[in-house]
A and B are shown apart, each in its own frame.
Chain A
């Protein structure tokens, strides 16, 4: 059930020139949140920019009531958010999304992320690791300057494979190629993905071909985040092209069974 909370900004860190991590004190929201959930942040109490910003949860500390998000500055809203000062109160709504990462019935998890899509996967890796699941993580970045959270994911993974498209850091190529190899070697019983659309499409195709259960986290432009504006539509996989039917990212998602969506 979503709640509105005025959350204190406890800490802000700049991870890259345009990437920030914020820690918020939000005990009510964090109590109900699951890996894969997101929150809607109102960056101003004025009318410009108008809408809240949906941002995925990076990390949670349920005991201390702390919620952490990592975001890239992309426009007006995220710019304002990146300029908030520690101690400021921020209006947030959450946890949002009913589709979350479901890993409990699996034991050999493959977590694959690309670029800024790696952030919502961290809490999943952390929780799965705490439950003694085997976690193999595959992270792909464009080049060395975009690599983030290597140490954090390393701690929560049995094996971390890191790739850059141009080979400027770690392994050269795409993370999915290493995932495919591990699938063929029988090391994977479930896949969890978030990242750019071409990567998600490739992971979706691979998972369906290899008949491995797969969840993918999606994004789409949205307003309310609660299932009322019906803005964030994504096509249901089984619906015909001439008469498409839609899920909504904020409600059925943001994490979907890869078989259920056409992306």
Chain B
């Protein structure tokens, strides 16, 4: 049975990765299980300079999911390179850095540094809904995505993946911009912009008023978007949005995802990613699938 995949030129022992912002830089989870079992780790969104993030409350629970407005709190690329990367490199798993910025220059400067580091690839974050500048502000138009991705492509030799926001009318056209700009892959979906109101206080629960919705609540939207993007582009897809077990992962792969990420599911059970790896193997045994690559995009539409 083969679970190895190659995603955007990155070899992974299985298609299961952990999504940016749900796994830190791996340290806490490494106390609970062997990180070598993961296909890859997408780091917390990392910027050129440290960011302290948004005011609390930053998270709240919603029906079958949660809202977050963390605001990209991170220690900055310099700290990451010095302290977190050497730790992550102890494990035999792909390390992909989620890169965020508030201007094109910042994305470019950051990626110049990332290009010099011992990492497997970059996931360009053009989709965080919780910061005023950058990210989703670039990520919701074809031109914006193409511009940032092209500029970064010029300075980055490593595999370049662009993370897309679902908060757009036509995600396929945004994915096309990524492909046209020369990136190696797309990842989707980031969180859906949402809001929860405390009816006693008559105020939004999150200090930032709105936040990104994740968890099983968004899974059908994510599956649909992965399918649409798979029809529109030839570059590989890292699919995510509410995956909490092997069956969910298979659903994304049938829709066209070459690899998948576990996001909010890590918070509910830190072992979700490992159980997803096991669940995929169980499905393969059940249907006598020799190679996991054989199911990618194999949904048969009605």
Contacts and interface: CB of A to CB of B under 8 A. Distances in A.
B and A form one assembly: yes
Interface of A: 1-4, 42, 47-52, 91, 93, 220-224, 226-234, 239, 243-246
A52 B61 CA distance: 10
A47 B244 contact: yes
Interface stretch (B77-85, B150-158, B260-268): B260-268
Contact of A4 (B24, B32, B55, B244): B32
Contacts of B63: 48, 50
B221 to A, nearest CB: 15
Contact of B270 (A4, A239, A243, A245): A4
Contacts, number: 105
A51 B64 CA distance: 9
B215 A42 contact: no
A232 to B, nearest CB: 7
B204 interface: no
Given A220-B56, A227-B24, A48 B267 contact: no
Q: Ordered nearest first, which 9 A-B pairs have the shortest CB separation? A: A231-B59, A223-B267, A224-B267, A228-B24, A233-B56, A226-B28, A221-B57, A47-B216, A231-B58
Contacts of B267: 51-52, 223-224, 228-229
A193 B100 CA distance: 39
7 contacts: A2-B31, A42-B268, A50-B62, A50-B216, A220-B57, A228-B22, A231-B58
Given A228-B24, A233-B58, A243-B52, A42 B31 contact: no
A222 B63 CA distance: 16
A26 B99 CA distance: 40
A50 B52 contact: no
B65 interface: yes
B215 to A, nearest CB: 6
Contacts of A48: 63-64
Contact of A50 (B31, B64, B70, B205): B64
A233 B66 contact: no
Given A51-B267, A228-B29, A233 B53 contact: yes
A49 B269 contact: no
A4 B52 CA distance: 30
A260 to B, nearest CB: 15
A228 B58 CA distance: 13
A239 B53 CA distance: 13
A201 B107 CA distance: 42
Given A233-B58, A244-B55, A51 B32 contact: no
B271 interface: yes
A49 B216 contact: no
Contacts of A226: 28-29, 270
Contacts of B24: 227-228
Nearest to A223: B267
Contacts of A221: 56-60, 205
A47 B267 CA distance: 12
B80 to A, nearest CB: 15
B22 A231 contact: no
B252 interface: no
Contacts of B21: 229-230
Given A50-B64, A228-B22, A246 B266 contact: no
B56 to A, nearest CB: 4
Contacts of B191: none
Contacts of A228: 22-24, 28-29, 266-267
B61 A229 contact: no
B46 interface: no
A48 B268 CA distance: 11
Interface in B22-75: 22-24, 28-29, 31-32, 44, 52-66, 68, 70, 73
A47 B56 CA distance: 25
Interface string B238-281: 00000010000000000000000000101111110000000000
B32 A224 contact: no
